[in-house]
Amino acid sequence: MVIKTVEFVKSSEKWQSCPEPNRPEYAFIGRSNVGKSSLINAMMNRKDLAKTSQTPGKTQLINHFIVNDEWFLTDLPGYGYAKVSKSQRKDFEKLITNYILNRKNLVNLFVLVDSRHSPQKIDLEFMEWCGESGVPFSIVFTKSDKLKPGAITKNVEAYQNELLKSWEELPPCFITSAEKKVGGDQILEMIVQTNMDLVKNKVKFD
C-alpha cells in the first residue's frame, strides 16, 4: 500500500468521544512498551506521528489517525503496566475493553507481543477474551531486530504451539521490527485486502 496521506484526528479518553465510526478501523494493542506506537510510525514512514517512549505507559489515550482518507489506524494504551495503582490499571483495562466492544467499525485488532519472550499469561488471556467476545485479531511479533533469525523462528513456533493448545486455528501472524522497518508492509497488505473485501461485500460504515 502506498501511504499517500496520514493525518492525526484526535486523542480520546473513552470510546464515546472517538471520531465518527465512518471508516473501517484497525487498532494496535498489546502490553505497555511492546512497540505499538513505534510500529505505527514505521509503517506510516513518519518519525513522530505516534508518541513513543522508553518508559512504559506513554500512550494513555485512544489515538486516531486516518490513512489515505480511507481507514482509521488506532494507537491504544498498553495493558498490564505494572507501575500504576491497581485501580488505575483497572480503569485502563476498562477503557480498552469498552472501546473494543463498542467500536462498531473496528475490523481487526493487531495484538503485539515481544518476539523475545515466551508466551505471557496476560497476552494469552487477552486473546482468549477476544475469541470469546468475537473480536477478530492478528498477532504481531515485535522487535525482531533484537534476535537472530533462528531464535525468532524458534520463538514464533513455540508461541504458535502454545496457542494451538486452546485454538483450533492460528490467527494471521506477522514478524516485525520498527527499528529495521520489517513486516509493516505485510500488515498493510492485509489491511488493503480486508478493505477490498469490505467493499466487495458492500459493508457500509456511515
For ligand GTP, the binding residues (CB under 6 A) are 32-38, 52-54, 56-59, 77-78, 142-143, 145-146, 177-179
Q: Which amino acid is at 99?
A: Y
Q: Which residues of 82-110 are buried (b: 16+ CB within 10 A; e: fewer)?
A: eeeeeeeeeebeebbbebbeebebbbbbb
Task: Using the minimum distance from each CB to ligand GTP, give the nearer residue, 23 or 143.
Answer: 143
Task: Using the minimum distance from each CB to ligand GTP, give the nearer residue, 83 or 154.
Answer: 83
Query: CA 23 to CA 145: how far, in whole Å?
Result: 33
Q: Which does residue 178 touch among ligand GTP, Mg ion, none (CB within 5 to 8 A, set by kind)?
A: ligand GTP
Query: CA 75 to CA 35: how far, in whole Å?
Result: 11
Task: Using the minimum distance from each CB to Mg ion, give the nearer residue, 23 or 36.
Answer: 36
Q: Which does residue 153 touch among Mg ion, ligand GTP, none (CB within 5 to 8 A, set by kind)?
A: none
Contact 1, 189 (CB under 8 A): yes
Q: Does 37 bind Mg ion (CB under 5 A)?
A: yes
List residues binding Mg ion (CB under 5 A).
36-37, 58-59
